[in-house]
Amino acid sequence: MQKLGLELRNARLEVVDAEPAPAHERAHARAADRLSSPAIEARGRQGVGASLKHFAANNTETDRMRSSSNVDPRALREIYLRGFQRVVRDAAPWTVMCSYNRVNGVHAAENHWLLTEVLRDEWGFDGFVVSDWFATRSTAESAKAGLSLEMPGPGNWYGKKLGEAVREGELDEASLDRIAGDVLRVYERTGVLDGTGSAEEQTLDRPEDRALNRGAAAAGRGCAPPPAP
């Protein structure tokens, strides 16, 4: 795990994706969730953050930009959110990526209950929340819900529109300060603000590095590691 974190750091990757087991594969979920936390922690020790995704109840690819995952509150917490909760509390990922779908009728990117009440207030998450690509659908509502960053950039809803929303009274300055602070905290962790981050990209291409990457790729696909050449 530590060596993989070093590989990522040398590639100048400050934040990479991480995903707990999907809720419809609960037979393997507990083991997968227990593996997620050490992987995220090892990356963090090398100065590489993880982006935990897709939050939450992202259980279909069909029409996922418009679909709503309507889930009973108990099932939502005990099945669909449990893996995220464990990883947030145990490993403190730097970012969380919200999903495309609605959760009980409210888009994840606009869901204050999900992004603020549960993720931040209950679980203590202190990083930033990023949208999945083109999942943002509003300016003020998303910012008030706790969406820190619209992706990809430059986006359609954030940027100058955040300032306009404040001037027009649709968004209070405290909400804007809060999401800006989320992003700045992660910048600080990467070393960008004090000039110690984003060093020159390096390549680790030793035989042991190749073996490590082959093994990690094979394990990620549930395969036995290939033999060394």
- Active site members: 132
Helices and strands counted in the chain (H then E)? 9, 7
Count of residues in the chain: 229
d(C-alpha 65, C-alpha 191), whole Å: 35
> Omega into 152 within 30° of 0, i.e. cis?
yes
Region of residue 112 (phi > 0: left; psi between -120 and 50: alpha; otherwise: beta) = alpha
Distance in angstroms (rounded) separating the CA atoms of residues 19 and 54: 7
Distance in angstroms between the alpha carbons of the first and the last residue of the chain: 22
